[in-house]
Chains A and B, each alone.
Chain A
């Protein structure tokens, strides 16, 4: 059991390192294509390491709170913990913000969507099972949540005079 847990952690850590390397790779490609895009400096490498540290802290908090009796805290996603750790870290030090900002934002997103595409590979067939009706419903459901939130936010902005 203990051994399995260790293996899982090693796998998580190596995946995280792979993710950081792919971000660096993407930023480098962006630079090759457009020399005016975000440069790669010592600051960028520091930023990547900080992103890695925040991620690891988020993972640890998530597994630590599994012992808590409250379902809402147990179910709170790792992604949420990581953004909170990062928010705290960025509030404490402007240097951290500076380092993170030297990691190009869109360079983080391309690798993610690449793996997202691969992850759904075996489910493409399911789409045929899902009838066209569900696709139409899906479009309205998605529009519904987005428009609903946007309209309420817009009204909020109008009321607050911003």
Chain B
């Protein structure tokens, strides 16, 4: 390897893992709600804190060198492969279970339209216009990014919207879902349903959401992981179709209604 700073990155990552694992699982009680913070959250937190410009001096400048940050971004997908391979062992023993309620997995895919139903009115309420189209089409992952850039280019307001959600999700997605997912059990949603919802098309967000569910329901570990992984696989198969054939028309419909009503209101 030509990158001479790589060794700093490697050692730094080992130290971060060491620190995160020694912090371990921390449980915070907010009222009656348990929030479990897993080592993965601390690992993410530590690396993000040291990434702040103030800290990037001396050795940290070498750790966070341009090549290293680029490497982490480009090859993160490769680092994730063993995780994906791990899911086979969760899904295979539960395959019969999963197939017996297969239609639930299919139906809940349309739940991804929630980005439009819940997000779009809020965006318009806040005064966003065409940016709202890009921002609420979906989770703002690669699929939406590709669709928006093909249709509107990334320099358009729509493009700005989708890029903003992309950045927001990259920075906080895993963290957000690892905290929020267990909270919904207090709304009366079952851990099984929340596990299925965790497979939403981003591997890191699914990991955050399903791992923190497991921390709350350790006895359901196998089921939670299997459902999340199966749902994730399904999303990567039919996610594009749901977006193009359902989310886009629905978004157009709601957008034209809301923006018109606003004009009339004035």
Contacts and interface: CB of A to CB of B under 8 A. Distances in A.
Interface residues of B, number: 118
B126 A137 contact: yes
A139 B118 CA distance: 10
Nearest to A53: B85
Chain A's interface: helix, strand, loop or mixed, by majority? Answer: helix
A73 B124 CA distance: 36
A101 B222 CA distance: 11
A120 B20 contact: no
Contact of B51 (A22, A124, A152): A124
B207 A130 contact: no
B249 interface: no
Contacts of B196: 149-150, 153
Given A33-B22, A83-B84, A111 B17 contact: yes
Contact of A153 (B40, B108, B115): B108
B40 A112 contact: yes
Interface string B27-57: 0000000000011110111111001110000
Interface of A: 11-12, 14-16, 18-20, 22-23, 25-26, 29-30, 33-34, 48, 50-52, 54-55, 58-59, 72, 75-80, 82-91, 96-97, 100-101, 103, 105-106, 108-127, 130, 133-154, 156-157, 160, 162
15 contacts: A14-B1, A16-B79, A25-B17, A83-B229, A85-B88, A86-B84, A91-B95, A103-B86, A110-B39, A137-B122, A137-B132, A142-B176, A145-B114, A153-B192, A156-B107
Given A86-B85, A145-B112, 13 more contacts: A87-B92, A106-B211, A111-B43, A115-B79, A117-B44, A118-B64, A118-B69, A119-B73, A127-B171, A134-B168, A144-B118, A156-B101, A156-B107
